Amino acid sequence: MTPPISEQPATTMRIGDLVDEVVFTVEAGKIAEFARATHTTDPVHTDGLSARDAGFASLPATATHVVVSGHYRDQRAMVERLGLTLERVVVGSVRWRYRRPLVAGDVLRGVRRVVGDERRTTRSGQPMRVITLETTFVGRSGEPAVLLTETVLERGTTG
């Protein structure tokens, strides 16, 4: 049995600490997959000519495309680095802030850092840890493209 959160040793991560880094290419095939999966009907995401006519150099990615970075990250290592118990972790929320559209061919580097780490008690009296992470994705020239903010919840045990 896993001890409740309040009995576990505190993590050594602090606000501002680096969690991980990732580099990946925005691929046209993945853009098409996301467009299908999210039922995107705008041809700008699936047809190169429509994308060019709309002013894009290449197919633009759909709004949630940077979740692809998860395929290149070691998520289990991230959970361990944060001192979490995987079986009790859920995603609380995800928010994207775009500085510019992502297009096929972009190479992005994402740096994920801890920006918040709190322990709370739920309405039912159970302990819960709330960790806020931010990943800044930059393009080849270092210009910011997307800021991804994730809230990760570690729920306490009931027994």
40: DSSP letter = -
Range of the domain at 92: 5-26+65-155
Supply the pLDDT for residue 75.
85
Supply the pLDDT for residue 2.
42
Q: How many domains does the chain have?
A: 1
Residue 48 is assigned to a structural domain of this protein: no
Supply the pLDDT for residue 3.
43
CATH code of the domain in which 121 resides: 3.10.129.10
Supply the pLDDT for residue 76.
85
Residue 139 is assigned to a structural domain of this protein: yes
Supply the pLDDT for residue 58.
95
Low pLDDT (below 70) residues in the chain: 1-12, 157-159
Q: Do residues 11 and 83 touch, judged by C-beta distance below 8 A?
A: yes
Question: What's the half-sphere exposure (Cβ side, CA atoms, 13 Å) at 152?
Answer: 22
